[in-house]
Amino acid sequence: MNMQNLMAQAQKMKKDIEKKQEEINNQEFTTQNELVSITMLGSREIKKIKINEEKITDFDDLEALEDMIAIALKDILKQIDDETNSKMGMYGSGLNGLI
C-alpha cells in the first residue's frame, strides 16, 4: 500500500468520525425520575430541566430534590457516553488523536 492510499484512507476515516460526532452532538437525550426530567444534547448542552410540580408541592426536602437532579444528570451523561462509544467504538482508542 502506498503512502497516498494511506493518506486517503486516513482522510476518509477523519470525515467519518467528524460526521458521527456531529450526529451525536445534535442528538437529544432525555431522562426522568419521580421529580425531575432533563433533556440534553449529545454535546452536553442542557436543553431543558423540568421539575414535576405535582410531586414538589407537598415535597419539602430540598436535599432529596438536589439528589434527584444529580442522579438524572448522571444518567443522561451515561446515555451520551454509551451512544458515543456505540457509534465511535469502531475507530478504537488506539488512534490517540492522530486524526
Give the domain CATH number at 33.
Answer: 3.30.1310.10
Rg (CA), the chain: 20
Q: Is residue 61 part of a domain?
A: yes
Residue 34: phi, psi to the nearest 5?
-55, -35
Tell me the whole-structure pTM to 2 decimals: 0.74
Range of the domain at 77: 18-85
Q: Is residue 1 part of a domain?
A: no
Under-70 pLDDT residues of the chain: 1, 57-60, 92-99
Q: Is residue 97 part of a domain?
A: no
Q: Is residue 7 part of a domain?
A: no
Q: Is residue 29 part of a domain?
A: yes
Domain total for the chain?
1
pLDDT given for residue 96 in this prediction:
52
Residue for grid cell 421539575: 51
Q: Is residue 55 part of a domain?
A: yes
pLDDT given for residue 62 in this prediction:
77
> What is the distance in angstroms between the CA of the first residue and the CA of the last residue of the chain?
19
Q: Is residue 59 part of a domain?
A: yes
